Structure 1
Amino acid sequence: MNKEQLERVYKGKGFIAALDQSGGSTPKALLQYGIKEDSYSNDEEMFAMVHEMRGRIIKSPAFVSEHILGAILFENTMDRTIDHQFTADFLWEKKGIVPFLKVDQGLAGLENGVQLMKPIPDLDDLLGRAVEKNIFGTKMRSVIKEANPEGIRQVVEQQFEIGKQILSKGLVPIIEPEVDIHSADKKESEKILKEEISKQLSSLDKDAKVMLKLSIPTEDNFYRELMDDPHVVRVVALSGGYDRSEANEKLARNHGLIASFSRALSEGLTAQQTDEDFNAMLSSTITSIYKASIT
């Protein structure tokens, strides 16, 4: 684990940029960026286009360590280069931004009111490559739709079980049990979730460090005690389907909670914009998310 990067994520001011849309969500991300599905004819072309989009964001003069602590990458992005450097090295060496990697393979079907992660058969190999590519930490997502105690316990147990495998490689896992913002019993789900996370944190080795990525809670500052747990490097929030202004407004009311936005970060950016317009839009977005993250 890179101690300088750990210190930066733990104490730095700013937020985590989520640039990790993968296979299923890539067409949607490209469409939002103004590239229609008939612009590419296979996965290789699609991933090349999305890498171009991410490279444009990362290389932008607006994408700076003054506002951004880390960036979450998709595996395909980790394996590609920006200006002849692997993406993670470019982020850290040229930008001073800490690189993370999305490691999950998507969601299983709905059961017990939740969606667990699908099995990750080649995780060991992927983590080995992440270490070689100078990745600092990982991210993996599950979804909670209902306040079902059994389902939520399974989600958190699975997250921490895989988290321990990630920790054994010297990487810092971002545990992401997302509570669906449209859930009818979101507040109750969050209560059960917090209890289950606290249980799992208490079972970790003394020196183990994890991060948490959670939906912005219904009750302001609800995750304060998780932030204070010695195992937790940082608690970050996903935008979860809120548009950027609403996500920022809710985030700002939660002291110490910082953003890890994906869709809300790239909202309004298009392939057709001039570099000047693109950078101005990105700068305004980053500034607004940063301000909401440092409350």
Structure 2
Amino acid sequence: MLDKVRSAPGFIAALDQSGGSTPKALLLYGIAETEYQGDEEMFRLMHAMRARIMKAPAFTGDKVVGAILFERTMDGDVDGEPVPSYLWEKRGVVPFLKIDKGLAAEENGVQLMKPMPDLDALLIRGREKGIFGTKMRSVIASADKAGIADVVQQQFEVARQIIAQGLVPIIEPEILINSPTKAEAETILRDEIAQQLDTLGPGEDVMLKVTIPTVADFYADLAAHKSVVRLVALSGGYSRADACEKLSHNRDMIASFSRALTENLRVSMSDADFDASLAETIDGIYSASVNKA
């Protein structure tokens, strides 16, 4: 799995919408909130959508390097097989797990992650199920140096806890694409991450998931760091076309898209239309990740 994640051509699919973002994802898919009652039915519908994606002919390790899962998805199954093993053994896709519990209130222009008191137990359970790595998200709204330093410090503190359990963490400090100080925040973030990377020892590997930068290849030095397995990009609210166009100018960065991956999929589609639409999307995201402008 490490060899595939480090060097295989392709991208990482983000199938990790959690409770707060699930209604929006279902609405985009064509299922309104009036069509289900309660969380259990909501998550059942969401799992059915994800299973449909994972079973599609184009969703294989040939172009999809990995997939990030919500905890409930990790605990679910596809055709009677646990999702992590289905992905790796049947599709050749490396499974990751979203581990954060959401965001705290904004302070100093950022939102830190909420506490994760049961993290070790979740990591152990994930590892036993065949999970390779994890993902955790913070948000940066403005170029506040103290706030960004706090985000990066928290991300790396939790990353060390994840590494200690034998998993590879994806560190995700998202800068909002509509931030009026996006470029300035990117400079602060890059420098803070570089300092933290230099504190990692041999075998302490991480991945980085960032907003596509204002200046192409802005994070190239981070991608080349000895402790960075892979540099990936979030779509951040850009349309798939815009995200792919911007990504194609960043040579050492591959996609890890969520909404941009599923934006053209609808529950009402026939299986043939669904599979064809997903295949077209996968081809586009793959091309932007591999064929650089």
Provide TM-score, normalisation by structure 2. Answer: 0.99
Partner of 1:33: 29
Map 1:1-295 → 2, pairs under 5 A: 5-294=1-290, 295=292
* Partners of 2:139 and 2:77 in 1: CA distance: 31
* Partners of 2:52 and 2:189 in 1: CA distance: 37
* Partners of 2:38 and 2:105 in 1: CA distance: 26
Where 1:23 maps in the other structure, the secondary structure is coil
RMSD over aligned CA atoms reads: 0.6
* Partners of 1:96 and 1:64 in 2: CA distance: 6
Q: Provide the aligned length of Structure 1 versus Structure 2.
A: 291
Where 1:152 maps in the other structure, the secondary structure is helix
* Partners of 1:196 and 1:182 in 2: CA distance: 21
1:38-73 Cα offsets, whole Å, 9 max, x none, are 221111111111000000000000111111000000
Identity fraction in percent: 58
* Partners of 1:248 and 1:273 in 2: CA distance: 24
* Partners of 2:202 and 2:110 in 1: CA distance: 30
How far has the Cα of 1:83 moved from its partner? 1.0
Where 2:173 maps in the other structure, the secondary structure is strand
Consecutive aligned runs of 4 or more in structure 1 exceeding 6 Å deviation: none
Where 1:53 maps in the other structure, the secondary structure is helix
* Partners of 1:27 and 1:132 in 2: CA distance: 30
2:51 counterpart letter in structure 1? G
How far has the Cα of 1:219 moved from its partner? 0.5
* Partners of 2:14 and 2:287 in 1: CA distance: 17
* Partners of 1:85 and 1:137 in 2: CA distance: 20
1:4-38 Cα offsets, whole Å, 9 max, x none, are x0000001000000000000101111110001112
* Partners of 2:76 and 2:271 in 1: CA distance: 22
Give ranges in structure 2 of 5+ residues lacking alignment. Answer: none
Give ranges in structure 1 of 5+ residues lacking alignment. Answer: none
1:223-244 Cα offsets, whole Å, 9 max, x none, are 1000110100000000000000
